[in-house]
Structure 1
Amino acid sequence: MTRDRLPSLTGLRFWAAFAVVMYHLSRQAGTVPWLSETVWYGRSGVTFFFVLSGFVLAWTYDGAAVPAKVFLWRRFARIWPLLVVSTVLSVGVWVAVGKDVSVRAVAVSLALVHAWSPDPVIFTGGNPAGWSLSDEAWFYLIFPLLLAVLAGRSRRVWAMTAVAVSLGAAAVWLASPLMGSATVRIWALDYFPPTRTLQFVLGVVAGLAVKRGWRPPVSLPVAVALVVGWHLALIPWSAAVPDSLWYSPYSASQLLSAPIFAALVCAAAHADIRGRNTGLGSTWMIRLGHWSFAWYLVHEIVIRVALHLGGGRPDPGAETYSFWVLVLVVSLALSAALYHLVEHPVERLLRRLGPGRTTATRTERAVALR
């Protein structure tokens, strides 16, 4: 095991995507007892991805002296091809089911700036799951500056930064009643790139700290227990407060969970550094982790198709279980095909054609970050 290979983070990517898939199935295609309650706020998996993004980029590029244009081209090659393909699939399904499609929204989506608009037609245009890539594009744009400011600082500065961004996220959530309409509030809390930047910065300082030898205070099993415990605690909260209210767990589950996810990422990375077998770095977990980006982008499209062909939401019971299994199998198979036929080969081609003309670092290949 070398210090620049973190296979457990690839395995964790699958579980984060799984949480998002379960979230959409539960809310769009009928509930499964116990499981749906646990994943009712599985959209927090996106928060995990934002923290992970900052962690891995800091780990990979700290001290690498990679020019900003090379870095940005690598990131473009990583996310844009699959965004285009998934958007084409999504728009095709919208048209097939008779829903109007905003050409402007699709264009803004492909330009990766749609999350900056408070208009739901815009920030969910094209492929609704693609909103998070608009935030990622912003993170990539500011990352060279963040790295220049934070790399080489003391652990005290990194700790203070981590505390500041965590408290900042809580402050944004507490201030949300002042944000006009419910639509604007949801956009500002859940989609707006500067709000989500707090999670990315937390990941950056965590990556810098662990790379420089900092040992996380909790082990991987404890970190996993914290994540599971957090989502279980949301169940009674959800029962008491409707999602439409600002103090519901809907936005809180995404804004307040970043420190817990940072602990999970740090613990998994540290276990890899120490050469421990986490169960997350097996051949199949790595494979599933590689497919997770495509799975995240296409699973909701498959749900839409299945709902349309089935004439709406399945009946409770066996029909719901069958629907879930069908969607999981089909969407994961489609994701595997997209990874091997589009995502991976096109990324390699674009890297060869772009500035730097270098292959991915070992960490980038191992983690295959969104």
Structure 2
Amino acid sequence: MTTFPLSGRRPNLPSLTGARWWAAMAVFLLHALIFLAVYPFQRSELFATIHSFVPMQLGSAGVTFFFVLSGFLIYWSNSSVRGAGDILYYCRRRFTKIYPMHWVALILFVAASATVTREGAGLNVDFAMDFSRLELWLPNALLIHTWNPNWALLGGLNVPSWSLGAEMLFYLSFPFLVPLVNRLRGRGHWAAFWGLFALLLGVALTVHLVFAGGWETENAFVARLWEMDVSPVAEPHADPVWFAQESIPVHMAYFFSYYFPLSRLAEFFLGCVMAKMVSEGIFRNTNLAAPMVGLALSFAATWFVPVALKMAVVMLVPMCLIVGTLAVRDLEGLSGRIASPRAVLLGNISFAFYMVQYPVMVALQRYVIAGHQWGFVGWLCCAVAAFILSVILAWLMFTFIDDPLMKATSRGPRRPRKKANPLVRDLAVVMGR
């Protein structure tokens, strides 16, 4: 297998791009189940049964994959970051990737959650939240809301944006910690890998013991909040009642093991270490079946461990091995369908798809679902509609916002040219060059 030095351009890894789509789909499936408040289905035993097979940790598996993949790809493209010019260029690219799409999705949520009524010849718009309360919306806009264990912040506005708060910590810490990754040699790579995993496991166990973490997560969201048979006008997290509350208690073991950015930092750097092992030919596995079986077994184990472990740590090692294996398969020319042009396109729009799905569900709740009584088939039709609309919006956002902005900031820092040796220059003149 070919190895790749720290400096220089490394090859693209289309399988990892294609895999992003499936992680986004896992998140969408969970969100469609808990955010589309279709009644009386959502209060039925059928819903409870489905939710037992599509639990909270399905969505968290997708997020864990994103965090590991983020570390892998950031290292793959930026492992030689050094100096003020490199760091400024790197930060500009990361901010451009995250904030514009986040703000667009935030605006879409605000529009979707607003109530529009006609008064005489004009229209009256009532927003779900009071924008004079800076303490509720400004932390979300700046992506610092996940540092505060207040569910009014975590569960308000565009709910999936919580993961971007962790991503910003990952990105900002990378230039300062990547030299430690670059210093790894030989067996030190695996020592660092297992050391980081042990650190995450220790944090999760500590959180479980300190905060008396329970075992169940089905009440982390409020899908079955109301005792009613008619679908509500607003999904709870987009209801004015939600934003009227000063503070909402959080399951602290759940918060510190899942939402708190520092608790997730090592996942990102596990991805970085895996990227270095792949680039240096230390990790060479091309058999995808083994890590996939490991992921299936670890996912099954989430039913039997506490909250602090089930949402990320248990599935982490097979996630890392899957990411590394997909990368090696690309380098060895064994990509398969997951690297097809269609799969890569879906992977490219997956970030926008992840960001826009909740605003789409909020809009469907208000303008389609509200006031109706539907069972499973009604919910399924709404979920399909949310999927189609989210894909269309995601493609538009990627095509006209994300991709153009990233291309506009793709020019790297200027590096000073080395002055030519006078003897070489004069020899070139003599030879007519």
| One-letter amino acid of the counterpart of residue 42, structure 1 | L
TM-score norm. by structure 1 comes to: 0.85
Could you tell me how far apart the structure 2 residues matched to 1:197 and 1:262 are? 14
Q: Which amino acid is the alignment partner of residue 366 of structure 2?
A: H
Give the distance between the partners of 1:170 and 1:94, measured in 2 at CA: 39
Q: Distance in 1 between matches of 2:408 and 2:135?
A: 29
Q: 1:159 offset after TM fit, Å?
A: 1.2
What's the CA shift string for 1:18-39, capped at 9, x where partnerless?
A: 0000111122335597697146
8 A contact 1:227–1:261 mirrored in 2:
yes
Where does 1:339-354 land on structure 2 (aligned, <5 Å)? 339-351=398-410
Query: Per the alignment, do residues 192 and 271 of structure 1 end up closer, same or farther by CA in structure 2, a change over 3 Å counting?
Result: same
Give the 5 Å matches for 1:1-370: 4-29=11-36, 30=42, 31=47, 37-38=53-54, 40-43=56-59, 44-63=61-80, 65=82, 67-96=86-115, 99-101=128-130, 102-175=133-206, 176-179=208-211, 183-217=251-285, 219-234=287-302, 237=304, 247-249=305-307, 252-309=310-367, 310-311=369-370, 315-351=374-410, 356=413
Q: Which runs of structure 1 show a deviation greater than 6 angstroms over 4 or more consecutive aligned residues?
A: 32-36
Cα drift, residue 232 of structure 1 = 4.1
Please state whether the residue corresponding to 1:5 is helix, strand or coil: coil
Q: Identify which range, 2-11 or 294-303, moves more after superposition.
A: 2-11
Output one character per residue of 1:186-243: Cα deviation in whole Å (capped at 9) or x when no partner: 2211111110001111111111111111224562122223223433444x54xxxxxx
Cα pair 1:165 1:198 within 8 Å, conserved: yes
Does structure 1 retain, via aligned residues, the 8 Å contact 2:352–2:397? Answer: yes
Aligned length: 346
- Structure 2: state its 5+ residue gaps: 3-8, 37-41, 116-125, 213-248, 416-433
Aligned twin of 1:364: none
State whether residues 314 and 320 of structure 1, in contact with CA within 8 Å, keep that contact through their aligned partners in structure 2.
no
Is the CA contact (8 Å cut-off) linking 2:286 and 2:328 kept in structure 1?
Answer: no
Instruction: Return the TM-score normalized by structure 2.
Output: 0.73
Cα offset, 1:329, TM superposition: 0.8
What residue identity is the alignment partner of 1:339? F
Residue 313 to residue 346, structure 1, CA distance change in 2 (3 Å): farther
Cα offset, 1:73, TM superposition: 0.8
Whether contact under 8 Å (1:115, 1:134) holds in the other structure is: yes
The structure with more helix, counted as a fraction of residues: 1
Q: Deviation per CA, 1:80-139, whole angstroms, max 9, x where unpaired? A: 110110111112223338633553332222222221111222334432211111111111
Rounded Cα–Cα distance in structure 1 between residues aligned with 2:49 and 2:292: 22
Give me the whole-angstrom Cα distance separating, in 1, the residues matched to 2:361 and 2:407: 30
Write the distance in 2 (CA, Å) between the matches of 1:39 and 1:331: 22
Code of the aligned partner of 2:99: W
Partners of 1:123 and 1:14 in 2: CA distance: 24
Residues 1:343 and 1:157: Cα distance change in structure 2 (over 3 Å): same
Q: Find the aligned partners of 2:56 and 2:157 in 1 and give their Cα distance.
A: 24
Supply the distance in 2 between the matched residues of 1:93 and 1:167 (Cα, whole angstroms): 43
Distance 1:313 1:171 in 2: 48
Residues 98, 75 of structure 1: alpha-carbon distance in 2 compared, 3 angstrom cutoff: closer
- Higher mean alpha-carbon deviation, 321-330 vs 31-40, is at 31-40
Aligned residue for 1:87, secondary structure, equals: helix
Percent identity, aligned pairs only?
25
Structure 2: how far apart are the matches of 1:84 and 1:182?
Answer: 25
On the 8 A contact 1:38/1:232 being kept in 2, the answer is: no
- Indicate the RMSD between aligned Cα atoms, in angstroms: 2.7
- CA distance in 1 between counterparts of 2:25 and 2:308 reads 18
| Shift, 1:250, TM fit | 7.3
Q: Secondary structure at the match of 2:337?
A: coil
Q: 1:233-288: per-residue Cα shift (whole Å, max 9, x none)?
A: 44x54xxxxxxxxx545751323222111011001000001011321110110000
* 1:52 and 1:203 in contact (8 A); partners too: yes
Q: What one-letter code is carried by the residue in structure 2 that aligns with 1:335?
A: A
Tell me, in whole angstroms, the C-alpha distance in 2 between the residues paired with 1:314 and 1:48: 36
Deviation at 1:323, TM superposition (A): 1.4
Residue 313 of structure 1 deviates from its aligned partner by 8.4
CA distance in 2, matches of 1:219, 1:348: 35
Partner in structure 2 of residue 361 of structure 1: none
Amino acid at match of 2:398: Y
Are the equivalent residues in 1 in contact too, given 2:204–2:313 (CA < 8 A)? yes
CA distances 1:321-359 after superposition (whole Å, capped 9, x unpaired): 21121111111111111111111112333456xx7389x
Is the contact between residue 67 and residue 167 of structure 2 (CA under 8 Å) also seen in structure 1? yes
Of structures 1 and 2, the larger Rg is shown by 2
Aligned partner of residue 13 in structure 1, secondary structure:
helix
Residues of 1 paired with 2:291 and 2:348: CA distance?
23
Distance 1:95 1:3 in 2: 46
